[in-house]
Structure 1
Amino acid sequence: MAPPVIPDEINSGTESPATPTSASGQFPLEQPPQLKGRRRLLQNLQRMSSSPSLIRRTRSHSTGYQRDRKASLSCVSLSAAQCWADPVASTAQLSGGLEHASSAASPTVPSPGSARIRVIGGLQNASQTTVPLPLDMRPASRNLQSEGDATPADAQVGHRAVKRTLEFWRDIPDEIKMRIFGFLTVKELVRCSLVSKAWYSMCSDGQLWSNIDTSDFYSKISSYSLMRILTFAGPFVRDLNLRGCVQLRDKWLFEGDQISDACRNVVNFSVEGCRIDKSAINYFLSQNSSLKYINVSGHVTITNSTLKVIAQSCSQLQTLNVSWCSSVDTKGLKRVIEACTKLRDLRAGEIRGFEDESIMERLFEKNTLERLVIHRTDLTDESLRMLVLGRDPEIDVLTDRPIVPPRKLRHLDIHQCVNLTDDGFASLAHNVPFLQGLQISQCSELTDDGIVDVVQTTPNLSHFDLEDLDKITNHVLTEMAKSPCAENLEHLNISYCENIGDIGMLQLLKNCPNLKSLEMDNTRVSDLSLMEASCLVRRRGYGTNLPKIGLRIVVFDCINVTWAGVREVLSSNAFLPRALKNQSTVTVKESADEGDSSDSVSPSGSSRPQATVTRHYPKEIIELKCFHEWQMTVNEHTKRVLRGSLAAANNLDRKWADHMMATEEAGAGGIRARRRRRRAHDVDFMNNFDEDEELSLEAFVGARRRARSGGCTVM
């Protein structure tokens, strides 16, 4: 049977379907005849291909069945004779006019322009009637395609199909969320819990409620809301500060048991200034055996029975503050001292009974206290000696000093203990080597003899308060300047010590380089001390950073301090050595943008360097508190120096000095009238001079100044 004739619809239009083949099965290289009529119309028609490639590309113009310079067949039904005939003959017969050249290539290796037709005559299952699509022509489907049949093209298609959307708050770990919530206050956490259920759950996490400090919002929250917070977060609270929460008075009375049952893991507890029922506070303390810090100062309801509960329940106690508790005495404190072996800090100001030597003997035996605050008590020489030396200590025959273990005290506050004299205070000498802070102000019976011995044997002393000691003189300051504590001294208060003047203060300022606070109001110091203090601060150096406060001095109501000494301090704060004024660092910066060429290139064509001037400032300055009429000027001068406006500060200093000189001369008469008028004219001119913070006054020295402004805002 003759092979069927291929329909005209599958011809490419390049060759006639009736063209005979040669004996070798190849088409001759001759020009096909020009088609006419129906065939010409069909030749010019364009047909859409049913190839899967249409999924990835739009329709493109083609001539006949040409696509990408390769022949393509669409909707071809292959019969058995065509599929299982001779491969060579079938290929030649089916190719029809799809070949562009008649080369002698092998049938098994198609030429570059050959059609995409597979010969399946050599397959084992020759009875099949359908032909599977080639692997590269199969549609990309991750559900139907096996892992071994995946191709790079399919993987790319699947990758593009997946679009990942990221939601920051939903996808971040819970640990980071808790870390973010940890920076919020209690008030902010309560507000955030109202956003959604998810946020309510996160805001209810226990680690966010380990610290409740109501000092910032205690006056803005109702007792009902505060009660809900305490009962909700109670099991997680470790630090509870209810200072000033007076609105909880009724809650402690009627619902105190509920608060105590909820808060059972508190470590630090402060209710200073609150109003709590006695039974409620006792029950709360008994339910928290892990307490280490207790602050109940100022409570009238705190009694010795409360201290008994603390001694029985709080064995881990380290800090106890019962100052100004009028219902407490040393009998209750003795129980706490005996039971709480880890007690380090005891604050019992204005507590009765410290003349009893038995409690001091207990403190001597324990020797665990590092801070003892017993100001305004009935402390006596015998009780203080018992605290430091114990009962009947052994005496060293060589040094004539008691042989006792040194005390661990680091801070001792015994100010306003009027019964204390030099005999009892001298017992601290050689026995408190770790002492850093000592407050003995208003102990009016103390003199130089008792204080000097203690100062010379406390090398770590950094805070010393000698306020209102009428009987001490410059000898104390002189010996302090020679003692080992001179290098560590930072804060000194000698206010209302009327016998202290420049003799002792000058020695102290020369030998104490680390002073940070000096209060000497109502003393006999003069401008010389202020000048020496200025030299002390200037020796601390200069730098490129803005200045900061290095020394605070209080000299109000000092009759020997004049405006000249105050001006010396102001001038020193804004002073720079001449070498630093002229010093600058020039950095050449080449412009990378062509648009900046006008700024970086000079008219001659050469590059112009950009000079960066490095400004220098004093590292530290003095903050001065002086006579109230001068204080506003001093404060304004300090502000200008702190923000780096040294020129403006010098300008203000100059104006103020002229104003003070004119004021002094205005009160004089006689032959000074002409000078007084000239000074008044100059002061009026300087008050109207325009202040430019960056303009130096050195350029105007010796020249007339014609600038005018609205006047000095400070004066």
Structure 2
Amino acid sequence: LPRDVNPVMFSNNDEAVINKKLPKELLLRIFSFLDVVTLCRCAQVSRSWNLLALDGSNWQRIDLFDFQRDIEGRVVENISKRCGGFLRKLSLRGCLGVGDSALRTFAQNCRNIELLSLNGCTKITDSTCNSLSKFCPKLKHLDLASCTSITNLSLKALSEGCPLLEQLNISWCDQVTKDGIQALVRCCPGLKGLFLKGCTQLEDEALQHIGAHCPELVTLNLQTCSQITDEGLITICRGCHRLQSLCVSGCANITDAILNALGQNCPRLRCVTHTSADKFITDGTLIQLSIHCPRLQVLSLSHCELITDDGIRQLGSGPCAHDRLEVIELDNCPLITDASLEHLKTCHSLDRIELYDCQQITRAGIKRLRTHLPNIKVHAYFAPVTPPPSVGGSRQRFCRCCILL
């Protein structure tokens, strides 16, 4: 039973006090706030509670991730028959035993589904997306991350049957190419979130299709899409003016031209993640971001080895710095010194700063920053100095000490 329920109110029959005092409609409303586990427990109390707990209206949102992940397909089929058209949101994240057959039955029974997570359901293939396309026209959010059997055929099917799609995650579906992206974006103009992490076959042409057909795009993750270049990303900037979050970590062919384009074309930008070990990002990038992106909240510039104190000064004097900027990651930026921390002390919203391997940053500089921002979380390394060459000619590197200041 729920922990906050008084057991005195119950008996083993349907004449319990609570059933007499409260109308069925009110009990049903109370049950609607319970999670899956509690509903199942309540279903065992009495016959009347069994009917209330298993009423389809209580099963509009189901997440099995924290409940049971080793479920078989028949469980999904039973859920779909129980919930029917009531079900709006279902997460089967990590349910490795669920395959195409069960999801076809699910799609046939739950035609009002709006959010579906199949993240890590590695058994599913293009057949599942064909079923969703045929029976689930209201689908808005679909997570297919790590479903590695998914191909362009899935994206073409979704474009034909799920025109309301707003968010799609196909991270690590490395069979997807520009043809699948083209088919998807041409028929789903309302896309707001695309997560393409690890889709290594994508090239600039795929980004050109996105830029041309996704004016509502807010979030784009292209982490480790190693073939893309500035040319493709600039078309994103020019066509997706509502963009707020962009991740291009691990994209080694990106230079500061793309960040300049973001600054000039995407005024709503809040989060930029660029953590490849390249040497093309410069202070000019920060100048553009500080001028044109007043809503910037998170900025990751890990391994951008040409960034200097002057670039941080420009960022710290921009409109985002005073009221918006919450996180800045500067790890492995060797030219950054304590002067940068002085430039950031007026960033009153700053909650976290990463300074790993910024060897010109000192404890004293961090202490001074904390006098202005006492609640800031500072992550930094203070490593011993590398010793001189040993007698044998080799250099030994001491273990670093990682501290959370």
* Structure 2 counterpart of 1:320, from 145, 168, 185: 168
1-side partners of 2:341 and 2:142: how far apart?
A: 44
In structure 2, the gaps of 5 or more residues are: 1-15, 383-400
Higher radius of gyration, 1 or 2: 1
* Structure 2 counterpart of 1:178, from 15, 28, 33: 28
CA offset digits 1:8-51 (Å, max 9, x no partner): xxxxxxxxxxxxxxxxxxxxxxxxxxxxxxxxxxxxxxxxxxxx
TM-score for both structures, normalised by structure 2: 0.76
2-side partners of 1:257 and 1:464: how far apart?
A: 38
* Structure 2 counterpart of 1:452, from 257, 260, 270: 260
Does residue 518 in structure 1 map to residue 328 in structure 2?
yes
Q: Alpha-carbon deviation of 1:248? A: 3.2
Which SS does the other structure have where 1:438 is aligned?
strand
Is the contact made by 2:198 and 2:224 (CA closer than 8 Å) also made in structure 1?
Answer: no
Partner of 2:96: 246
Partner of 1:12: none
Q: Which has the higher contact order (CA 8 A, sep 6+)?
A: 2
Which SS does the other structure have where 2:165 is aligned?
coil
Q: Specify the code of the residue in structure 2 equivalent to 1:631.
A: I
1-side partners of 2:256 and 2:176: how far apart?
A: 35
Q: Specify the code of the residue in structure 1 equivalent to 2:337.
A: S
Q: Residues 562 and 347 from structure 1, CA distance in 2 versus in 1: closer, same or farther, beyond 3 angstroms?
A: closer
2-side partners of 1:630 and 1:567: how far apart?
A: 17
Partner of 1:218: 68
Q: Specify the code of the residue in structure 2 equivalent to 1:471.
A: F
Identity %: 29
1-side partners of 2:153 and 2:403: how far apart?
A: 52
Partner of 2:112: 265
Where in structure 2 are the equivalents of 1:234-313 lying within 5 Å?
234-249=84-99, 258-278=105-125, 281-282=128-129, 284-285=131-132, 286-313=134-161
Does residue 627 in structure 1 map to residue 381 in structure 2?
yes
Which SS does the other structure have where 2:304 is aligned?
coil
Is the contact made by 1:444 and 1:470 (CA closer than 8 Å) also made in structure 2?
Answer: no
* Structure 2 counterpart of 1:476, from 275, 285, 292: 285
* Structure 2 counterpart of 1:508, from 315, 324, 335: 315
Partner of 1:188: 38
Partner of 1:97: none
2-side partners of 1:339 and 1:493: how far apart?
A: 33
Partner of 1:559: 359
Q: Alpha-carbon deviation of 1:193? A: 0.2
Is the contact made by 1:315 and 1:339 (CA closer than 8 Å) also made in structure 2?
Answer: yes
Q: Residues 573 and 356 from structure 1, CA distance in 2 versus in 1: closer, same or farther, beyond 3 angstroms?
A: closer
Is the contact made by 1:260 and 1:283 (CA closer than 8 Å) also made in structure 2?
Answer: no
Aligned positions, number: 366
Q: Alpha-carbon deviation of 1:562? A: 1.7
Q: Alpha-carbon deviation of 1:260? A: 4.4
Is the contact made by 2:309 and 2:340 (CA closer than 8 Å) also made in structure 1?
Answer: yes
Which SS does the other structure have where 1:294 is aligned?
strand
Q: Alpha-carbon deviation of 1:624? A: 0.9
Q: Specify the code of the residue in structure 2 equivalent to 1:462.
A: R
2-side partners of 1:363 and 1:328: how far apart?
A: 14
Which SS does the other structure have where 2:182 is aligned?
helix
Partner of 2:393: none
Does residue 438 in structure 1 map to residue 246 in structure 2?
yes
1-side partners of 2:309 and 2:221: how far apart?
A: 28
Q: Alpha-carbon deviation of 1:505? A: 1.2
Q: Residues 336 and 508 from structure 1, CA distance in 2 versus in 1: closer, same or farther, beyond 3 angstroms?
A: closer
Q: Alpha-carbon deviation of 1:283? A: 6.0
Partner of 2:4: none
Q: Alpha-carbon deviation of 1:560? A: 0.5
RMSD (Å), alpha carbons: 3.4
1-side partners of 2:126 and 2:314: how far apart?
A: 58
In structure 1, the gaps of 5 or more residues are: 1-165, 372-409, 541-549, 575-620, 635-715
